[in-house]
Structure 1
Amino acid sequence: MGSNPATNAVLPPEEENNSPPRNDDGVSLADVLPKTRGVNIFASLTRQFESVDARLGDAAHNVTVLAPRNGAIQDLPRKPWENPDDIARFGEAQAYEGKDGQDRASRNLERFVKAHVVATSPWREGEEAETLLGDKLTWSRAGDKIRIQPGDVEVDSIAEKVSNGEVWVLNGVINYR
């Protein structure tokens, strides 16, 4: 994309020299996530679920938001609210029709969002942390990039550091099945 790789280098959260400074003036993740470049699809999804939206605004509980880039969400083989099991059980045309279908879609979408919020911040290299979905993730440095496991998902940048956590921009998505 013509960007300078030196400015896109990802540093671990504890290294402050090239990552954004922590904003401790009461600005929360709920405030900055919608303004973070390139992740507005994910940001809008977080506001659909009161439990997630409240957590992002909660000054008492730090989290790390693993926000997939818009393109990563758009490139998924299925929509975040679709589940192959639902389609196999109800058929493609009926899986998300009516009230029951809408409820299934909403649960699937909430699972997708919660898979991308880690209940820890700062999150240290090699530290196993749990998502709001209950899955365990770790990250490590591979060259000049951070990769999240399982799934080997590349972190493009640490975009924001605020009083209650950080926003990490991902070039992929965390498994949300």
Structure 2
Amino acid sequence: MGTIPSNQRQQPGSPIISDVLPKNRLINVFSSLTRQFDSVESRLNDASSNITVLAPRNSAIQGLPRKPWENPDDYARFGEAAAYEGSEGQDRARKNLERFVKAHVVVGSPWEEGVEGETLAGDKLRWEKRGEKIYIQPGDVEVDSVAEQVSNGEVWILNGVINYV
């Protein structure tokens, strides 16, 4: 994993995460979700605060057994029909979706192997390299590539999703 030399970080006019995230077609579903939450979008736009975005491929999000805004606990508590109905249901769905997005943003970059990172959702993650592949733990989520290295962090493309419940 390369890191960006300090002389390339935070120069005026340097690209930041919010500039490059929407340009990658492999992750445009996740990218569009980040723009729905001011707390996340402000971090993507903050050139003075480094982050690592763990962006699931479109196919990983589309292949989930449930939508990112669904939580099995909501169905158990409110029932299938009522879980996301009305304004309270919409609030629950929005909070679940925000948690999904925040679970994929690690505070800090560069993020070193074996070092525990904390997501905006408050979860602890680490990564390890096995052979030529990188995996996020817990969950053994495979990293497809480090797609971007910019002045305020990195964008990693994942072949799966981080546990967000």
Instruction: Quickly name the TM-score band, shorter chain normalised.
Output: over 0.9
1:126-141 superposed matches below 5 A? 126-141=114-129
Where in structure 1 do 4 or more consecutive aligned residues deviate above 2 Å?
13-16, 21-26
Q: For 1:150, give the aligned amino acid.
A: P
- Is 1:48 paired with 2:20? no
3-state SS of 1:65 partner: strand
2:154 aligns with one of 156, 166, 172: 166
State whether residues 103 and 162 of structure 2, in contact with CA within 8 Å, keep that contact through their aligned partners in structure 1.
yes
Q: How many residues in Structure 1 have an aligned counterpart in Structure 2?
A: 162
**Deviation at 1:93?**
1.0
Write out per-residue CA displacement over residues 53-74 of structure 1, whole angstroms, 9 at most, x where no aligned residue.
Answer: 0100101100000000000000
In the alignment, structure 2 segments of 5+ residues that lack a partner are none
3-state SS of 2:25 partner: coil
2:83 aligns with one of 63, 83, 95: 95
| RMSD (CA atoms) | 1.7
In the alignment, structure 1 segments of 5+ residues that lack a partner are 1-11
- TM-score, normalising length: structure 2: 0.94
State whether residues 141 and 161 of structure 2, in contact with CA within 8 Å, keep that contact through their aligned partners in structure 1.
yes
- TM-score, normalising length: structure 1: 0.87
Taking only the aligned residue pairs, the percentage that are identical comes to 69
Distance between the aligned counterparts of 1:75 and 1:37, measured in 2? 17
1:24-103 superposed matches below 5 A? 25-103=13-91
Partner of 2:93: 105
3-state SS of 1:78 partner: coil
